[in-house]
Structure 1
Amino acid sequence: MSNSLSQHAIAPAEVLRGPGAWLQGIPRLAALGQRPLVLGRSAVTAQLRQQLVADLHQAGLQPHCAELQFDCCEEDLKKVSAICQNQGCDAVVAIGGGKVLDAGKLLAHRLSLACITVPTSAATCAGWTALANIYSVEGAFLGDVALARCPDLLIFDHDLVRQAPARTLASGIADAMAKWYESSVSSGASGDGLVQQAVQMARVLRDQLMLEAEFALQDPHGAAWERVAEACGLSAGLIGGIGGARCRTVAAHAVHNGLTQLEASHGRLHGEKVGFGILVQLRLEEVLGGNQLAGQSRRQLLPLFRKLGLPVSLEELGLAEAGLHQLQQACAFACSDDSDLHHLPFAVGPNDLLAALVSTCSSERQPA
């Protein structure tokens, strides 16, 4: 048994989930801060945020609102941090999608404030995790930041999440499924009991999503929707918390990070790019690693992703007009020395990755 110390930020201090969780959670929120900074971004959810802020006022709190102009980036964080300090805010309430939640967590971390996350979709598990992704003003991925702890309170209100477009849930399904395809490669042979359990939880999560994803999208008021939405927004985060740093992302997220370097990909959601990255990773395992089971897995995922409306090719990602130089730029970033892509058990260069990018849909009927 190893004597090395492992540190895990496993879960939020408290999680409230279910219909009406927001209103029921306000007393718990009030116990964390009376003058919260309410952080948001999307114009689509502006009216929703106004209602939630009104609820806070009605409960006797003194919220102050701030909006991000870009993705989670240093320029926005600097501006919002000044607002938070000037207004004497004592907590951060992040309401929105993954990038807003990441910005709220990082802001609370830097200012040593209580953090409350309120997801408005199930597109990612960002409301759960002790991790924040940093982007440039243009929307290109720059890196990630490990935080000291998970949020103090996560409010996963089904009524709020249900209002999001179905596309966001499909994106969350792809992002959550990546937990299995990446962790099983990077940590499947680990002798660490917690890591082994996290990998098996990721497998169960994948299986559940394979079985129920279509039903969830067909009926947003059904039991399958609740299970799938919570699997994407909550369970996926728990797996990452238990598995820790050794339950790593691999090529699927590295592909996402590379694609964000191309402006043409910015109209696609995080999970849509990660889902495409799963197909690319499986193609790499099949061609470079000689893993025929990976080829079978890729061919199994393709029809499901198509039914969910997820992009399975560069053309469907909006990159049909991307030139060779641009794609090479994305591949070079994804293959940089510190990239998670190198957790694959074989060497991958930019040209290898480019070949996989353009052949995710190929050989669908080739025998195993």
Structure 2
Amino acid sequence: MLSASPCQLDLAIPAPGRLYRGSGVLEAVPLTVLGSRVLVIGGERSLAVVEAPLQRNFARDPALQVHWTTYGVDCSESELARLQALATAESVTGILGVGGGKALDTAKLVAHRLRIPVVTVPTSAATCAAWSALSNIYSNSGAFQRDVSLDRAPAALILDYELILQAPARTLVAGIGDALAKWYESSVSSGSSEDALVIGAVQQARVLRDLLLQQSVAALREPGGTAWKQVVDACICLAGIVGGMGGAKCRTVAAHAVHNGLTHLSGHRATLHGEKVAFGILAQLRLEEILQGSQLALAARTQLLTFYRQVGLPLNLRDLKLGHLGSADLLHAAQVACQPGSDIHHLPFPVSPEALLVALTTTDLTSSSPVLPRL
């Protein structure tokens, strides 16, 4: 008689329940999944952009009760507590998250904690937060604290190109940087996995990288055009698929760890999430050169330096408005990025804060250099 073996739960949350995509779709999409009492959470600018189409949408159901609120500046525990209390007091049955990454992370996490559905409406293509079952928590000063895995993706994602067109071009550039990291990180974090979904996710990340390298310049040149829509879809949807389908095996590595460390520095708010992540990709590749003597990493970084110049992504700390900081400050950021449990340790070699400090200060070095000793 065969003995029963314990079941190992392997949770993957590939996608939102529904994806509505097109120009002007926000006012037409059914929102019945949110129930009869809806809380709309977003930033002030984002709420102003969506107010008219959402009001037309809501007007189709006179019995619907809608409450509007801003989320503050960061997805912080104090803001989460305030919004959760508000939602509870109003007996909210569903949440509509509107805005950029932090607004959507906030809306998703409040809904997660209250066990009610959430629908996401991105107003820029700066991140894949509208897609993912993940939220990042920050301090009130914007310093990264931790990420939280959610037990479900949004009930629906409403991708209205007319909203994205109103966002500054810089947000799309940042989204390109954030989405590029999917390849450079998932190809490392996936290891030699034999899981078909992980293999598919990594290949999706490769397709995503190639699409961005090929179409981003044209997308930025002609907002609203075919290439622009492809890049918007790539930053929001294809990037989300990689993490959703690959699960824990296709998560962040050094590029996002560098971002997390940089948020602990004074002046970090001068740049966007995806700009810091894009810089982090260069730092990750530089670590491979420094600690492993990888010529492939040098070639990849050289390619990215050319591409970054074309689209306006940061090449170095000066471009991040952090060039004035001294070694002590930068070492602190490196220590945060290398703390126990950090995703930087998904790299297949040990990384010390001192080695990362070297990488952070030489991301735009354009020629090979001697391999430094492990520090």
Please indicate, yes or no, whether the TM-score normalized by the shorter chain is above 0.5: yes
TM-score by length of 2: 0.94
Retained in 2: the 8 A contact 1:35–1:88? yes
Corresponding residue for 1:54? Answer: 55
Retained in 2: the 8 A contact 1:264–1:319? yes
1:364 to 1:306, Cα distance in 2 relative to 1, 3 A: farther
Displacement of 1:277 in angstroms is 0.2
Cα deviation per residue 1:107-128 (whole Å; 9 max; x = unaligned)?
0000011100000001000000
Retained in 1: the 8 A contact 2:33–2:155? no
Q: How does 1:146-185 map to 2 (within 5 A)?
A: 146-185=149-188
Residue range with higher mean Cα deviation, 274-283 or 68-77: 68-77
Retained in 2: the 8 A contact 1:14–1:152? yes
Displacement of 1:32 in angstroms is 2.7
Corresponding residue for 1:275? Answer: 278
Displacement of 1:50 in angstroms is 2.6
* C-alpha separation in 1, matches of 2:310 and 2:45: 26
* C-alpha separation in 2, matches of 1:93 and 1:249: 27
- 98, 103, 119: which is aligned to 2:106? 103
Displacement of 1:46 in angstroms is 3.8
Displacement of 1:295 in angstroms is 0.5
Cα deviation per residue 1:276-329 (whole Å; 9 max; x = unaligned)?
000000000111122110100000001211221111110110102112221111
1:326 to 1:103, Cα distance in 2 relative to 1, 3 A: same
Residue 22 of structure 1 aligns to a residue whose secondary structure is: coil
Displacement of 1:79 in angstroms is 0.7
Cα deviation per residue 1:193-222 (whole Å; 9 max; x = unaligned)?
211111111011101100001000110121
* C-alpha separation in 2, matches of 1:284 and 1:297: 12
Q: How does 1:68-87 map to 2 (within 5 A)?
A: 68-87=71-90
Corresponding residue for 2:19? Answer: 15
Residue 151 of structure 1 aligns to a residue whose secondary structure is: coil
Residue 356 of structure 2 aligns to a residue whose secondary structure is: helix
- 316, 331, 346: which is aligned to 1:328? 331
- 69, 92, 96: which is aligned to 1:93? 96
Matched, 1:240 2:243: yes
Matched, 1:261 2:264: yes
- Percent sequence identity over aligned pairs: 50
Displacement of 1:83 in angstroms is 1.1
What is the root-mean-square deviation in Å for CA atoms of aligned residues? Answer: 1.6
* C-alpha separation in 1, matches of 2:250 and 2:33: 34
Displacement of 1:171 in angstroms is 0.6
Corresponding residue for 2:140? Answer: 137
* C-alpha separation in 2, matches of 1:5 and 1:106: 22
Structure 1 segments (4+ residues) deviating >6 Å:
none
AA aligned to 1:264 is G
Structure 1: 5+ residue runs without aligned partners? none
